[in-house]
Amino acid sequence: MKILLCFGTRPEAIKMAPLYHKLKKENFEVIVCVTAQHREMLDQVLDFFEIKPDFDLDLMQANQSLNSLSALILSKIDGVLRETNPDLVLVHGDTTTSSMVALAAFHLGIKVAHVEAGLRTYNKMAPFPEEINRQITSRLVDIHFTPTAEATQNLLNEGILKEDIIKTGNTVIDALLWTTNKIEKNDYYHPEIEMLKGKITKNKKIALVTGHRRENFELGLENLCEALLEISQREDVLIIYPVHLNPNVKKTVYDLLSDKKNILLIPPVSYPVFVWLMKQSFLIVTDSGGIQEEAPSLGKPVIVTREVSERPEGITAGFSTLVGTDKGKIINTIQEILNNFKGFENYINPYGSGDASEKIIDFLLNKIRK
């Protein structure tokens, strides 16, 4: 059976990597196509997970509009699909790559499966454009691999047939556990990790921060930075902020937080380094979806700087707190965790236990190959 994996961003690559290796192990014919929607960050992940793409569309351009990117993906993937003629295309999550590849495959009558299907906020502007990408993809694909019962129910509510939905957990936990096992080995060495070890004071609580959502640009990001400035006055805290490459993010963060006491601004780090940073952290402040999924497995509380989340399971279980971009809420929630958090009683991650790829492979072996 010939399977084409298509992805374009670092999060997609991380979450597809364990699936890629398990497909190869089970002797599927696996073809990888990357759109390189994120170039530099994608390449880091491909190198770490030892994935060599068969097709690299290299579509990233400076200040690229969503419409321009969508048109390029739709146009360029057409040739790949016609040349490879796969039995099944696998797309992931909520990117422009996923929705446009699914549309192109649909136009050619090629079956598509969606990994991490069914996540919803039902607010088309949050996250933007990811929410609509997810909904478009769900209407186009043939098989839906959902991470949770809530995601499954979302699809059932939308009229997707039960027999086309398979709950697997999230493959990001597979990738996380694979990575922690690798970086914890005595012979593992990474220069970025060694550099960071020299900058981290052992008696400080690390607040790890990320932020990149379009809906948080300008005022939302400014509020976050002002809140971090307030927190940085505490002598027991070190804020570490790997700053996203997007110029809309980079300028604001560096203008407001450069050369401030107890704040360490660093360039984006590779995936193994970020996992290492998560393990060192006391808490994480983020608008990322993947981090909300990963952090419970590491026992780290997450403050989510978004108004809505398509990952409510972590919030319901108490692993995450939704604060939006209100400066006061961010400050108060960080202070509360710094002062009172003693660890989680329940370490069961609602997003999976690390066997999502196996469940996807089992389905493909038992259902599709027959």
Q: Are 13 and 46 in contact (CB under 8 A)?
A: yes
- Say whether 92 is catalytic: no
Rounded Cα gap, residues 129 and 313, in angstroms = 22
Catalytic residue among 56, 214, 234, 326: 214
- The candidate with the shortest Cα–Cα distance to 3, out of 359, 355, 365, is 365
Q: Are 252 and 222 in contact (CB under 8 A)?
A: yes
Sign of CA dihedral 180, 89, 293, 326: positive
Q: Are 12 and 44 in contact (CB under 8 A)?
A: no
Neighbours of 272 (CB within 10 A): 20
- Say whether 94 is catalytic: yes
- Say whether 214 is catalytic: yes
Catalytic residue among 10, 92, 116, 307: 116
- Say whether 116 is catalytic: yes
> Measured between alpha carbons, how far is residue 168 from residues 10, 103, 277 in Å?
21, 24, 27
The two beta strands, 88-92 and 2-7, are: parallel
Catalytic residue among 244, 287, 306, 311: 244
- Say whether 130 is catalytic: yes
Catalytic residue among 94, 131, 294, 307: 94
Rounded Cα gap, residues 87 and 150, in angstroms = 29
Rounded Cα gap, residues 257 and 96, in angstroms = 31
Q: Cα 70 from chain centroid? A: 20
> Measured between alpha carbons, how far is residue 317 from residues 180, 291, 301, 308 in Å?
23, 15, 11, 16
Rounded Cα gap, residues 229 and 262, in angstroms = 9
Rounded Cα gap, residues 223 and 225, in angstroms = 5
Catalytic residue among 212, 226, 230, 362: 212
Amino acid at 253: V
Catalytic residue among 12, 130, 293, 307: 130
The set of catalytic residues is 94, 116, 130, 212, 214, 244
